Amino acid sequence: MTRSAPNPPAKQGPSPEFSIVRVGEELLLAAAQRLVSQSLKDRISAARRLIASAPEHGIDLSYIWASIEPTELGKRPAAVRQACLAVPGSGRTAMIFMSEPSPNADGAGAPAHVLETAREERIALLNAIAAHFSQSPGEPVRVLQALPEPGDAWAETAFRGAGFLCVGDLEYRRKALSPAEHKPTSKRIDWPAGIRVVPIASLPQEERDPLLLRVLEETYVDTRDCPELCGVRATSDILASHYATGVFDPALWFIVFVQDAKAKEVAAGCMLLNRVPEQRALELVYVGLSKPARGRGIGAKLMELAMLRAAEPRIDAITCAVDCRNEPALRMYERFAFGALGRRRAFVRRVGGMSSG
């Protein structure tokens, strides 16, 4: 696919036209050089390593788009100015990776018109990727996601310019297990009165997904974790993403049951843990409670349960990500000595109609 940039806004300085192309074999190495860190001295070797390792990590490099000079369309090799990679994943999503500023081209200190042109090119690349997935019914992607660092203004302006929605800053946290915490124990959780927590492994197979979908939707009501995401993705797609994170084990997914005013037991929350073997970690994929179950100390008890389940030989830590605005969750993680690892700013863009269940 080739097209020119759509009507760039008027600005001072030269504004060369550029073309957007889907990268083929002849441009792959040049595009990969733009996708690796631009601070590396030997970007060619890094690009070759990216190309060689991509299949091992399930990355299809045919989903790279690049901006080039129109006059270079018939030349080999053409110079790649900007590049953008989409990595389709579970739950009909694709993660977006975009070329960072080049010190010799559009890096810090470059003229304003150069920076603006680079922004326009990135926006055009993002729009081209969105158009591809929107116009390809066979492609299992309905939402584009990106996680730039909070200080990457060059990325943020491009994502916003291409219609991406910022859904919050995520803080990544990790709790290393002490020798005492790492030993299996027969300790039992003292749940509050009227609370029962069971693994989904104890439920009939046909009941699990319908129950999980209903519980997830109820926990999203007035959530403090990226509330902007509500309505962007179908709950069935979110559940599919949870299943695909790390290694799923039904013995590590828990449903919280509470007794209502009529002493009837209803599902009111869940905690989903998956193993991540390459990190020797247990990831807290999701934890949430519906409104009637909040403020009763259940969240802290669920964290105690997570610590107990992490006490196995191949697990050294528990990891999680949390919206920086979610103060109750942050306080709980602090209480359990989860240290902060870093932050990312989350952006999403829907590229088709609302995904159906």
Could you say which of 3.90.1170.20, 2.40.160.150, 3.40.50.970, 3.40.630.30 is the CATH number of the domain covering 2-163? Answer: 3.40.630.30
Every domain of the chain with CATH number 3.40.630.30 lies at 2-163, 171-341
Which tens digit of pLDDT belongs to each residue from 185-233? 667 889 988 899 999 999 999 999 999 999 999 999 999 999 999 889 9
Residues whose CB falls within 8 Å of the CB of residue 80, separated by 6 or more in sequence, listed in order: 23, 27, 30, 31, 33, 34, 66, 67, 68
Token duo for residue 349: 């863009």
Angle, vertex CA 37, rays to CA 35 and CA 41, nearest 5: 120
**Residue 277: what pLDDT?**
94
Residue 36: count other Cβ atoms within 10 Å of its Cβ. 19
Cβ proximity of 274 and 248 under 8 Å: yes
Three-class SS of residue 335? Answer: helix
pLDDT at residue 71 is higher than 80:
no
**Mean pLDDT over all residues of the chain?**
89
What percent of the chain has pLDDT above 90? 74
**Residue 137: what pLDDT?**
78
Stretch 126-150: mean pLDDT: 93
* Range of weakest confidence among 95-109, 119-133, 329-343: 95-109
Task: Answer whether 0.75 is exceeded by the pTM.
Answer: yes
Cβ proximity of 268 and 289 under 8 Å: yes
Which tens digit of pLDDT belongs to each residue from 266-305? 999 999 999 999 999 999 999 999 998 998 899 999 999 9
Stretch 107-117: mean pLDDT: 84
**Residue 13: what pLDDT?**
38
Stretch 236-247: mean pLDDT: 95
* Range of weakest confidence among 141-150, 304-313, 340-349: 304-313
Which tens digit of pLDDT belongs to each residue from 296-330? 899 999 999 999 999 888 899 999 999 999 999 99
Could you say which of 2.40.50.200, 2.120.10.30, 3.40.50.150, 3.40.630.30 is the CATH number of the domain covering 171-341? Answer: 3.40.630.30
Between CA 177 and CA 191 the distance in angstroms is 23
pLDDT at residue 11 is higher than 70:
no
Give 259's pLDDT tier (boundaries 50, 70, 90). confident
Q: Is 295 left (phi over 0), alpha (psi -120 to 50) or beta?
A: left
The CA–CA distances, whole Å, from 182 to 112, 254, 282, 307 equal 54, 21, 12, 9
Give 65's pLDDT tier (boundaries 50, 70, 90). very high
Go through the chain and tell me how many residues it has.
357
What percent of the chain has pLDDT above 70? 90
User: What end-to-end distance do the CA atoms of the chain give, in Å?
Assistant: 32
